[in-house]
């Protein structure tokens, strides 16, 4: 399994001959190295409905016929736009041909802002994503504050790679994210959701140093990890 970070919360997983994108916020994301009209994912996984996570999902999915997995209300909203979307909800798991997916809780919000008409569309509960394939488990926490059940998630899952938000203001900051790492006990950690906008600027390298002896790295956009 090859896992690549592309800035903000955008993650690309290549496994079992499939290309999977998580939260493809590409257009308008100065931290991202991708071009929305050139990516060709088979699958898109979404944590929640905020614009900086749904991103280019509709255009990408329509162009490529991508299969989208999302929390129920968000999947319904995307389905109304002609997207092939599979609905899930927190605590639920499903085995797809490309891998096993389970949604975890995330303490955050979830609504899509239609700026052209000033409309905010409620898109259900936000979530984190546990993804398993080839005997490896990736946990993308999505946008969330710290909560104690993270410890249970760590105890019940052998997490090989953790993507944890550290930007503060909208999500956990570095101190809370450090506690999340201790509770989930992952093999490797990559910080996400920081330095995209001035309001969430953080020192990713300093965060990784703070979680030692747990291994990790503040990946640059386009940098990969082999599991």
Q: Measured in whole angstroms, how far is the alpha carbon of residue 104 from the centre of its chain?
A: 12
**What pLDDT does 2 receive?**
98
Domain positions in the chain: 2-220
Question: What distance in Å separates the CA atoms of residue 170 and residue 128, rounded to the nearest whole number?
Answer: 15
Whole-angstrom distance between the N-terminal and C-terminal Cα of the chain? 5
- pLDDT digit string (tens) for 18-33? 999 999 999 999 999 9
Q: How is domain 2-220 classified at the architecture level of CATH?
A: 4-Layer Sandwich (3.60)
- pLDDT digit string (tens) for 123-180? 999 999 999 999 999 999 999 999 999 999 999 999 999 999 999 999 999 999 999 9
Q: In Å, what is the CA distance from 95 to each residue of 12, 22, 126, 199?
A: 19, 17, 20, 38
- pLDDT digit string (tens) for 79-131? 999 999 999 999 999 999 999 999 999 999 999 999 888 999 999 999 999 99
- pLDDT digit string (tens) for 5-60? 999 999 999 999 999 999 999 999 999 999 999 999 999 999 999 999 999 999 99
Q: Which residues neighbour 169 within 8 Å (Cβ) at sequence distance 6 or greater?
A: 199, 200
**What pLDDT does 115 receive?**
86
């Amino acid at each position: 399994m090859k896992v690549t970070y592309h800035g903000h919360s955008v993650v690309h997983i290549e496994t079992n001959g499939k290309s999977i994108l998580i939260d493809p916020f590409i257009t308008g994301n100065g931290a991202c190295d991708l071009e929305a009209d050139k990516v060709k994912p088979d699958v898109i996984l979404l944590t929640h409905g905020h614009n900086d996570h749904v991103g280019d999902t509709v255009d990408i999915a329509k162009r490529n016929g991508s299969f989208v997995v999302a929390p129920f209300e968000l999947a319904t909203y995307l389905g109304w736009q002609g997207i092939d979307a599979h609905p899930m909800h927190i605590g639920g798991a499903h085995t797809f041909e490309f891998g096993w997916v389970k949604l975890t809780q995330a303490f955050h919000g979830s609504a899509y802002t239609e700026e052209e008409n000033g409309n905010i569309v409620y898109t259900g509960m936000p979530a984190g994503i546990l993804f398993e394939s080839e005997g490896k488990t990736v946990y993308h926490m999505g946008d969330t504050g710290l909560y104690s059940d993270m410890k249970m998630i760590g105890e019940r899952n052998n997490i090989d790679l953790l993507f944890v938000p550290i930007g503060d203001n909208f999500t956990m900051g570095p101190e809370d994210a450090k506690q999340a790492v201790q509770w989930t006990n992952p093999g490797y950690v990559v910080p996400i959701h920081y330095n995209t906008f001035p309001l969430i600027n953080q020192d990713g390298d300093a965060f990784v140093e703070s979680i030692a002896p747990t291994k990790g790295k503040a990946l640059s956009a386009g940098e990969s990890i082999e599991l």
